[in-house]
Structure 1
Amino acid sequence: MRQPPSNTIAKDAIKAWRITALLGEGIVWLVTISLGVLYFVFDWSVWIVLIAFIVSVLSTVFFVVILPKLRWRRWRYEVFEQEIYIQHGILIVSRTLVPMIRVQHVDTKQGPILKRYNLASVTISTAATTHEIPALLEEDASELRDRISALARVDEDDV
């Protein structure tokens, strides 16, 4: 069996993913607070509000505290001359080999949360799909994009 890729993504990815998760959890908490208000207005059972509160606390702990660190530990990538090897996943580990000859174009992208931590994601497009290496340092992402682009161009010239 092939060895796992050796390169990891930036450690600040954990912070960026936690902020993103907090934004999503804000919606969960709005629903929970709305149920609490409806409890007082319509005299609902206290169990509905209690269950919603417990679910909100558990989902916040899981998605904000636990999941980002697990995701960071599992993300690996490596670029070879003939292929790109990407591995990610927590319960189901996905190992993807992208042949350089199939790469059509490579992009970097950066949203406001990634920009705050000087991070960027590299997107590798083939005819069939798009692959992403998330949350690399900006300089590393630019270098990786340029390296993949150069290797993909060389492969096309060889054909």
Structure 2
Amino acid sequence: MRQPPSNTIALDAIKAWRISAILSEAIAWVITITLFVLAVIFDFSIWIPIVAAIISLLTTIIFVFILPKLRWRRWRYEVFEQEIYIQHGIFIVSRTLVPMIRVQHVDTKQGPILKKYQLASVTISTAATTHEIPALLEEDASELRDRISALARVDEDDV
């Protein structure tokens, strides 16, 4: 079996993923609080809001505190002359090889949360799908984009 890729994504990815999870979980908490208010106003069973609060608490713990760190530990990538090797996943580990000859274009993207931590993601597009290497330092993302682009161009010239 092939060795896992050696390059990791930026450690600040954990912080960025936690902020994203907090924003998502805020919706669950707004619904939970709304259920409590409605239970008081309309005098119906308090058990529904209590169950919603327990579920919200559990999902917040899992998605904000546990999963970002596990996700960061599993994300690996490596760029070779002929292919890009990407490994990710928490319970089901996915190992993807993207042949350079199939790369159509490479982009970097950066949302407001990634920008706060000077991070960017590299997206690699092929005819079939798009692969992403998330949360690299901006400089590393730019260098990786340029390197993949150059290697993909060389492969096209060889064909």
User: What is the Cα-based RMSD across aligned positions, in Å?
Assistant: 0.5
Partner of 1:93: 93
**Normalising by structure 1, what TM-score?**
0.99
Partner of 1:120: 120
How far the C-alpha of 1:47 sits from its partner, in A, is 1.1
How far the C-alpha of 1:70 sits from its partner, in A, is 0.5
5+ residue gaps, structure 1, are none
Partner of 2:103: 103
Matches of 1:134 and 1:48, distance apart in 2: 38
Partner of 2:42: 42
Matches of 1:51 and 1:45, distance apart in 2: 11
5+ residue gaps, structure 2, are none
How far the C-alpha of 1:42 sits from its partner, in A, is 1.4
CA deviation map 1:70-129 (0-9, x unaligned): 100000000000000000001111000000000000000000000000000000000000
Matches of 1:120 and 1:109, distance apart in 2: 6
Partner of 1:76: 76
Percent pairwise identity: 82
How far the C-alpha of 1:46 sits from its partner, in A, is 1.6
Quick one: which amino acid aligns to residue 155 of structure 2?
D
Partner of 1:15: 15
Is 1:157 matched with 2:127? no
Quick one: which amino acid aligns to residue 133 of structure 2?
I
Partner of 2:137: 137
For these two proteins, the number of residue pairs brought into alignment is 159
Matches of 1:36 and 1:14, distance apart in 2: 32
**Normalising by structure 2, what TM-score?**
0.99
Q: Give the match's secondary structure for 2:5.
A: coil
Extract structure 1 runs of 4+ deviating beyond 3 A: none
Matches of 1:29 and 1:46, distance apart in 2: 16
Quick one: which amino acid aligns to residue 23 of structure 2?
L
